[in-house]
Structure 1
Amino acid sequence: MTLHRCSTGSSPAWSRHGHREGDGAKPSSVRTGSQWMPPHLREWKMKVMVRLLLLLALLPLQGFAREVPIQDFFKDPEFTSISVSPDGKHMAVTVPQDDRTVLAVLRVSDQGVVGKWDYGENRHFRQVLWANNNRLLFFVTFKTGRFDFETSKGDLYASNIDGTGRLDIPNGNYYNIVDLTPEDPDTILVERSVETSFLFKLNVNNGRTTTVATAPVEQGSFLVDHERKVRFVSGAMNDGRNVTYRRDGDKWTLVHESERNGATYFPLGFDAENKRVYMAKGEQGKPETIVLLDPDTRSETVLSSNGIVSPSAYLWSSDEKTLLGVWYEDGVPYWDWVAPDHPETKVYAGLVKAFPGKAVRFLRPSQDGRYFAMRVYADTMPSEAYLFDRDAGQAKFLAASMDWIKPEEMSPMKPIVVKARDGLSLHGYITIPKNSEGKKLPLIINPHGGPHGPRDDWGFNPEVQLFANRGYAVLQINYRGSGGYGNAFEGMGYRKWGTTMQDDLTDSVRWAVAQGIADPNRVCIYGASYGGYAALMSVVREPDLYRCTVGYVGVYDLDAQRSADFMEHESGRNYLKDVYPPTAAERMAQSPAYGVERIKAPILLVHGEKDVRVPIKNMHFLISQLAKVGKKPEDVIVEKKEAHGFRDLQNNVNLYTKMLAFFDKYIGPNAKTASAP
């Protein structure tokens, strides 16, 4: 197979050429020292010196990387998703544009625009699917902040690829798409969960539905076999219980039930014989193993297991009858090929080998399996999209999401394992500035948001790369409570937001110091959302460990979150009931605002005035609590038109300019680091 990258131009490359200025003999008219030199030779000598100085100025200094402009890290990417039509002739591309995301359909042959959709301010396309070669389905969600997650699937629409025949599907915001039923291009199967789960057949041309089945699951997901018969439903109850039912005739039989952070057992799909079922099984909340279950004998054949992380994606054959690969994000992500002899697996595996050192994700193939899109990325490289033609054995370059980012200027992201004080293994990443020796560096620890469900993973991270580009090592640790490591690991963080979860951050910093990576007198902590909470709670619990802290749209009073937008839903209220400390006294003890007297580190606070995910009253209350003990933040950045994370490019440039100045002041090259604060 061959790989072709089409480009409109090439980057300039500096080359050094030695120009012979004679045979090496000293010119007879040149005198040494302060002696006289003919004017024309003085002019020649000056030109040579100027050329030399210019050349030296153009060459990077040893040990220093170019300072990449802040805006380069936060400009909107050229695309966020690409999907290919069943016949491989068109592709649907979502493109972020300031306060919205737009959708376009392009011809694969020449990338000419066929149709375009824009639903306005704060509206974003999610899950764009091809109902058939001429008709698209897509959800359009409402999102106001960079760190927001949508509280619903969004409104569901259908349209012809040229923009005609647009249809707003009633109640579509409650639907999940179950099966595209390629044998019937006019209909798809969708599910809706409102106290009870319903499975419908939806006509994509007129939006009409026909009920197929109902199930006793409040947030359920149906599985149909290759004949489109309903066989399973799995999901969650509003109180957090996990359940799985099997369809026996007209009845549902409960085959699994567990608490929110307990064991998992849910179906993925059926084998080629339409009998055995692929199941994801996490015993006692451990990371999930993929097994092939025989429903008649209840026997299971283990197909894939990592032991540290659960699978995060699956790759099926083009006829959807064979599970080919399982995607694990354990350190550097990889595919585990569970059907290595399948002819399609051999193609996919060959393409992975064609991109060494990079991660390769495969998107839904064309109906005949000939074409499929793939996304290629790395820790130092934002996503690139390719279209592979199996018949030709060629991958065509489609687009780079951020082609202005130069991978050779970025810093590598190394997977690490840290032992917490109680012996628990914590997985994460350390990013060392490019061209540094990796020792005694200023360190920024950057806890992720969430906290339950999200995790840090390997790939291009604009914030991390910006900090590394400015000379800071960046530490990201998946503390207990993070997602991806099994339900039990996630459950270890429940009701421990301000205690053992913070200890995990402390232990990871001490690991970095013990490894010689971090200078113990030059450590700051920065995070957003729950990460902002952790940034302030850490300096409450460990006042002598950090020289500064930055809280960005952070939670500082746990009870203030009871006015957040997700509390409008029963599932959101039950979630806080399970994960929050149960008593008011415990919530106060685990809220940074009630521990301000212990804080020694300088504070930078950042918030959007329109934030409904973490209301700005969190920040105002923290500031008032600081004032009571004679303290105040060194700086407060509030943007009136921003919400849960800044989106405007200039606002982001201003924010990170001030943030970098803050870090430079306390842990930068000229900071006073004789002792911790």
Structure 2
Amino acid sequence: MPMYPRFRTCCAIGLVALAALGCEPAAERSLPDAADTETPDATETAATTDAPAASTPAAAQSADPYNEASPAMSLIPRRVFFGNPDKVGLQISPDGKQLSYLAPLDGVLNVWVAPRDDLAAARPVTHDKHRGVRSFSWAFTNRHILYSQDKDGDENWRVYAIDLETDEAEDITPGSDRSEPAGEGDTAVPAPPVTARIVGISHRTPEEILIAVNANDPRWHEIYRVNILDGTSQMIQANEGFRNFTVDEDYQVRFAAKYLPDGSIQYYQPTGEAAAGVGFSEWDEFLRVDKDDTANTGLAGFDKTGRVLYMFDSRGRDTGALTSLNLDTGETQVIAADPRTDVGAIKSHPTENTIQAVVFNYERRERKIFDPEVAKDVEILEALHDGEMGIADYTLDDRQWIIVYYDADGPARYYHFDRDTKEATFLFVNQQDLEGLPLVPMHSVVIEARDGLPLVSYYSLPREADPEGTGRAAKPVPLVLMVHGGPWSRDTWGYDAMHQLLANRGYAVLSVNFRGSTGFGKKFMNAGNHEWAGKMHDDLLDAVEWAIEEGITKRDQVAIMGGSYGGYATLVGLTFTPDVFACGVDIVGPSNLVTLFETIPPYWASGLPMFKTRVGDHTTPEGRAELERRSPLTHVEKIRRPLLIGQGANDPRVKQSEADQIVEAMKRHDIPVTYALFPDEGHGFARPENRLAFYAVMEQFLARHLGGKAEPIGDAFEGSSIEILAGRESIEQVEAKP
């Protein structure tokens, strides 16, 4: 389960190739006070290849762009789905006087700032000319914007502060040489390679933030206190082997954690005095979380006094509840729990730290509210618009909210809400081009796996199969099974650009929360342990059977597609079950689990016990043999259906070698493959030019092998770094088809 640190951050966009462009609203932002330097658990991956079809493929159909005269039969240009949004990630300054958001500047996403009551006066405050800014936050000074940038997807993140009074940007990454300020060149150039992240922003110390950086040892992040006015910094906690630290609003280190060899997590409490420039060196054991609970249990923050610890806790229950622990008396209390799903987003008062509301998400988001005034305001706001409502941001006094409404079949709508006057003012939609288009609903369904496990799933049907949007198919159509990455993440209801693109091209789309997905309790999560290419894949097959039985598709008209773990699942589908899928699209997916774990970034080393618990142990002969058995590369000769692979050359999680080695193996077995490499991308495609290029290839690929419609490639490669390293002839043949 993810931690919920108290940062004003916009979620990253475009990091995973199959994610919809733009920030999904961070509704009900998280608990304050717990800054977490945790290393990511999940490996997002993707790759693409192409093998011979078992039967004669349908001819690719080209069509003119969207025609209002015949909307149901026309193609919506892919740029509408995967180009830049108009505005996204709206935030409000802590004092409520300014708004900020991401929007294009000369075709590249940058941060813009405007007076709260005059959006027309917005101005860009970053000037990235290459990759774009994908996340940012306000400092509590109200005059600084903080953001991070890497180089071409290498995830060597550096932190920058922009002074809004001078519009000057400064690299404030501590513990290493500075790079040029972002915006002076085409992109910020990090030197040397470190990965830094903001882990603390407190209203109690407006001019200082906490940054974790692995400058001294690439395996471990140490915490620095950084002055954003002059860029000076001081280490407050060295790291000799901890996975993460938890700090409070006063920037005091309160806990540290590390994985134990058996996969459990041990939390420690510092003892003695903190040495200047070093921090604590002596620790007492505080809490041990068994390996079965680690995904659903963790520290979430503190109350205003700092003596009550909030936790996500699945110990003694199946799902993760929000609980409190009095650090003086040891008394525990369950604040909110749901027997079906783990607690999700939390809304707390920004200075009082009282719990105001929590969100649970089984099939759809459900809110439990504790604050009566918040309940009244939410009631007003839910009556304003039919879409799902979320609180995307709020001021330090909590009297002004940024509200977002989002639908599965339309753009997100942003409002400013004054809690004193109860006035909601419409600001903008994130993408005007989506208005009035023939988009389709997303439907939820719980599919029963062969062993009875409930699989919360989401599907979309093309208009020609379901003109009324009821969720019942009038006729079977080709289906694309979309497999999410992680695998320790989940699919949710809402607008999904890939669902909409594929539905517009005539495909049904099905997304399945297979076992091992997060949010559904520890039994569901742990049911995926050591089941890569096993029961996790069986769940996908069971979902396909459901779609066939429901008349949504036919057995020979199903493709599999995904990024990261979803890319791995695609390769598994074409090697372990070579006759099930008509074709596959793999984006940054690992092909060999042994080489995957041997090449992870050094700062993921602390998470290796977790990987061994959940996937397998690559350090023992028995474990390596089992991982090899579950690796698609081992069974490459079984591929007999077309495969497309897409890969970023700078991917630090799933290296380019994962794609290269399966492409080379397919060539040795005379199996055709289409392989697209992007030299300026990492774990997914962040630049819109690259997204549009790859999805242009994908459209033609699916149209040829699955029979749907496709927008011609046209000028989709313009401005992209795409290199077709294998299978170019198949793309040209597809494009040439009538």
TM-score, normalised relative to structure 1: 0.78
Pick the aligned partner of 1:118 from 117, 127, 140. 127
What letter corresponds to residue 160 of structure 2 in structure 1?
A: Y
From 311, 336, 339, the equivalent of 1:304 is: 336
Comparing 597-606 and 460-469, the one that deviates more: 597-606
Separation (CA, whole Å) in 1 of partners of 2:225 and 2:665: 56
Q: Which residue of 1 aligns with 2:702?
A: 663
Contact 2:403–2:414, Cα closer than 8 Å, also in 1: yes
1:645 aligns with 2:684: yes
Which segment drifts farther, 410-419 or 344-353?
A: 344-353
Are 1:483 and 2:518 counterparts? Answer: yes
Contact 1:328-1:334 within 8 A present in 2 as well:
yes
Residue identity in the other structure for 2:288: E
CA distance in 2, matches of 1:414, 1:569: 37
Q: 1:444 aligns to what?
A: 480
Partners in 2 of 1:308 and 1:65 — Cα distance? 40
Query: 1:212 Cα shift?
Result: 6.6
Matched, 1:233 2:268: no
5+ residue gaps in structure 1?
1-56, 671-677
Superposition RMSD in Å: 3.5
Q: 1:163 to 1:83 in 2, by over 3 A?
A: farther
In the TM superposition, residue 533 of structure 1 has moved relative to its aligned partner by: 1.7
- Residue 364 of structure 1, CA deviation: 3.6
Deviates more, 1:602-611 or 1:587-596: 602-611
What residue number does 1:504 align with? 539
Matched, 1:347 2:377: yes
**d(CA) in 2 for partners of 1:229 and 1:140?**
21
Which residue in 2 is equivalent to 1:387? Answer: 416
Q: Deviations over 1:586-631 (max 9, x none)?
A: 2232122222333332333333455454333333432343344443
SS in 2 for 1:519: coil
Deviation at 1:537, TM superposition (A): 0.9
User: What CA distance in whole angstroms lies between the structure 1 residues aligned with 2:377 and 2:695?
Assistant: 43
Matched, 1:623 2:659: no
The whole-number CA distance in structure 2 between the counterparts of 1:237 and 1:71 is 44
Offset, 1:164 = 4.6
From the superposition, tell whether residues 230 and 650 of structure 1 become closer, same or farther in structure 2 (CA, over 3 Å). closer
Aligned partners of 2:85 and 2:103 also within 8 Å:
yes
Contact 1:232 1:267 in 2 (8 A): no
Match of 1:156 in 2: 159
Partner of residue 620, structure 2: none
Q: Distance in 2 between matches of 1:436 and 1:198?
A: 55
Match of 2:654 among 606, 609, 614: 614
Structure 2 unmatched ranges of 5 or more: 1-66, 176-194, 274-281, 467-472, 618-622, 710-738
**1:219 aligned partner:** 243
Report the CA distance between 1:65 and its aligned residue: 4.9
Partner of 1:7: none
Q: CA 1:473–1:242 in structure 2 vs 1: closer, same or farther (change >3 Å)?
A: same
Q: 1:118 to 1:576 in 2, by over 3 A?
A: farther
Answer whether contact 1:123 1:142 (CA < 8 A) is retained: no
Partner of residue 149, structure 2: 141
Post-superposition offset of 1:433: 1.9
Per-residue deviation, 1:324: 0.8
List aligned pairs for 1:127-206, cutoff 5 A: 127-136=136-145, 138-142=146-150, 144-145=152-153, 150=155, 154-164=157-167, 166-171=169-174, 174=196, 176-182=198-204, 184-188=205-209, 202-206=226-230
What is the alpha-carbon distance in structure 2 between the residues aligned to residue 648 and residue 166 of structure 1? 22
Alignment partner of 2:411: what SS?
Answer: strand
- Shift in Å at residue 405 of structure 1? 1.0
1:447 Cα deviation from its structure 2 partner: 0.6
Aligned partners of 2:260 and 2:266 also within 8 Å: no
More displaced, 260-269 or 384-393? 260-269
Counterparts of 2:455 and 2:199, CA distance in 1: 35
Q: Which residue of 1 aligns with 2:576?
A: 541
Task: Indicate conservation of the 8 Å contact 2:636/2:665, yes or no.
Answer: yes
Shift of 1:480: 1.9
SS in 2 for 1:92: strand
Deviations 1:172-198 (A, max 9, x none): 75454334134x533456667878887
Residue in 2 that maps onto 1:32:
none
Describe how 1:562-601 pairs up with structure 2 within 5 A.
562=597, 564=599, 566-567=601-602, 569-571=604-606, 576-582=611-617, 583-601=623-641
CA distance in 2, matches of 1:642, 1:392: 47
Residues 1:334 and 2:363 aligned together: no
Change (3 A) 1:586 1:92: same
1:567 Cα deviation from its structure 2 partner: 4.7
Q: Deviations over 1:407-462 (max 9, x none)?
A: 652111112212222222222211122352314232110111222x3222222221
- The whole-number CA distance in structure 2 between the counterparts of 1:610 and 1:272 is 43
Q: Is the 8 A contact 1:76 1:98 kept in 2?
A: no
Deviation at 1:169, TM superposition (A): 2.3
1-structure distance, mates of 2:93, 2:402: 10
2:116 is aligned, of 102, 108, 115, to 108
- Residues 312-360 of structure 1: per-residue CA shift (max 9 Å, x gap): 32111243331111122322223221x142x23421343134232x222
Compared CA separation, residues 562 and 244, structure 1 to 2 (3 A): closer
**Matched residue, 2:445:** 416
Aligned mates of 2:701, 2:640 — CA distance in 1: 15
1:522 aligned to which of 547, 557, 579: 557
User: 1:500-559 CA deviation, whole Å, 9 max, x = no partner?
Assistant: 221111111112222232222311111223212211211222223222222233222233
Per-residue displacement from partner, 1:132-157 (whole Å, max 9, x unpaired)? 22233x13131635xx8x4x6x3233
Higher RCO (C-alpha 8 Å, min separation 6): 2
Q: What is the number of residues matched between the two proteins? A: 599
After TM superposition, the structure 1 stretch with the greater mean CA deviation from structure 2, 659-668 or 536-545, is: 659-668
Looking at structure 1, the residues matched to 220 and 616 of structure 2 have their Cα atoms a distance apart, in angstroms, of 30
How high is the TM-score relative to the length of structure 2?
0.72
SS at match of 1:570: helix
Question: Residue 473 of structure 1: CA displacement?
Answer: 0.9
Correspondence for 2:84 among 76, 81, 88: 76
Q: Secondary structure at the match of 1:283?
A: coil
Letter of the structure 1 residue corresponding to residue 495 of structure 2: F
Judged with a 3 Å threshold, the aligned counterparts in structure 2 of structure 1 residues 198 and 181 are, in CA distance, closer, same or farther, namely farther
Secondary structure of 2:394 counterpart? coil
Instruction: Write the distance in 1 (CA, Å) between the matches of 2:640 and 2:301.
Output: 55
Distance of 2:237 and 2:680 partners within structure 1 = 45
**1:218–1:238 CA contact under 8 A, matched in 2:** no
Distance in 2 separating the partners of 1:78 and 1:235 = 41
Q: What is the percentage of aligned positions where both structures have the same residue?
A: 25
Write the mapping of 1:248-267 to structure 2, written as runs, cut at 5 A.
253-263=284-294, 264-267=296-299
1:241-268 Cα offsets, whole Å, 9 max, x none, are: 4333457886865332125553454443
